[in-house]
Amino acid sequence: MDTSENAEPLRLFVGLWPDDAVRDAVCAHQQRWTWPSRAVKVRRDKLHLTLHFLGAVPPDRVAGLAEALYGPFDPFELHLDRADIFRGGIAVLRTRSVPEALTALHQRLHRTLDALQMPSARAGLVPHVTLARKAQEALPPPEPPDIRWHVSGYVLVQSRPPAPYRIVNEYP
């Protein structure tokens, strides 16, 4: 990784990274929606749950950031059981009940980022997996989702549109 002063900043986020079984279940649910022609579905390899979006981070800060994000972690189960469309036409899967361990993880990471003077675009937690954008008139399937995701860690990810995401570090 180029850490020189002239290197381009890295677009980073901290999130939950689903395993293949969860990705398959989310994709199967995504296929059951009725999508408007302009909807842009999220590709299987880009499905995730963002905890904190950091935006452009200078390369010389990435190693320190990656190290600082280590901390205590309690595994938990996330139940994706609600389909929704957010303002702006963002189709998502959500949970009706946010696990305490997820709230604690989000808050701990927020404190860490604040201490590093790296503000997150997500001070509040609304856990969701984005299925599609430009989906204002999308219709979810009549049966609600029932996806159980055993979360055993979190990741620091580089977003490089339109290229695939790149995991920078895995935790714990």
All domains of the chain, ordered by start, with CATH? 10-171 (3.90.1140.10)
Whether the Cβ atoms of residue 26 and residue 147 lie closer than 8 Å to each other: yes
β strands within 87-152, DSSP E: 90-94, 128-133, 147-151
Euclidean distance between CA atoms 102 and 17, whole angstroms: 13
What tens-digit pLDDT sequence spans the chain (172 residues)? Answer: 444 556 899 999 999 999 999 999 999 999 999 999 999 999 999 999 999 999 999 999 999 999 999 999 999 999 999 999 999 999 999 999 999 999 999 999 999 999 999 978 666 899 999 999 999 999 999 999 999 999 999 999 999 888 899 999 999 9
